[in-house]
């Protein structure tokens, strides 16, 4: 079971290193990783510069819907809810 966890966090790290942004919501849905902070911390310790910024929930949903189907409840204020996005700083 431990090897499976390592492979999932490795997928998140590879996603970030490919230059693609990611939020915790995307990490959960796409990779099954509920906490990406350890992956980000590991990358930073090895010298990678990871920047973070706040993005609307709606933007993350648009990106997710390229790979999966996620339909938030109509009453959810998707433009007001902010998520932290992590991305490799170039």
- The pTM (predicted TM-score) of the whole model is 0.87
| Mean pLDDT in residue range 66-81 | 95
pLDDT per position as a tens digit, 9-67: 899 999 999 999 999 999 999 999 999 999 999 999 999 999 999 999 999 999 999 99
- Determine the Cα–Cα distance for residues 32 and 29; give it in Å rounded to an integer: 6
- Determine the Cα–Cα distance for residues 33 and 56; give it in Å rounded to an integer: 20
What order do you get walking across the sheet with 50-56 strand by strand?
Answer: 22-23, 82-88, 50-56
């Amino acid at each position: 079971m431990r090897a499976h966890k390592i492979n999932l966090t490795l997928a998140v790290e590879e996603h970030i290193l490919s230059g693609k942004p990611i939020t915790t919501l995307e990490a959960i849905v796409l990779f099954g990783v509920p906490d990406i902070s350890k992956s980000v911390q590991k990358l930073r310790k090895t010298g990678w510069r990871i920047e973070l910024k706040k993005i609307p929930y709606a933007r993350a949903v648009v990106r997710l819907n390229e790979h999966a189907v996620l339909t938030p409840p109509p009453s959810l204020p998707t433009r007001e809810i902010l998520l932290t996005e992590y991305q490799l700083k170039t």
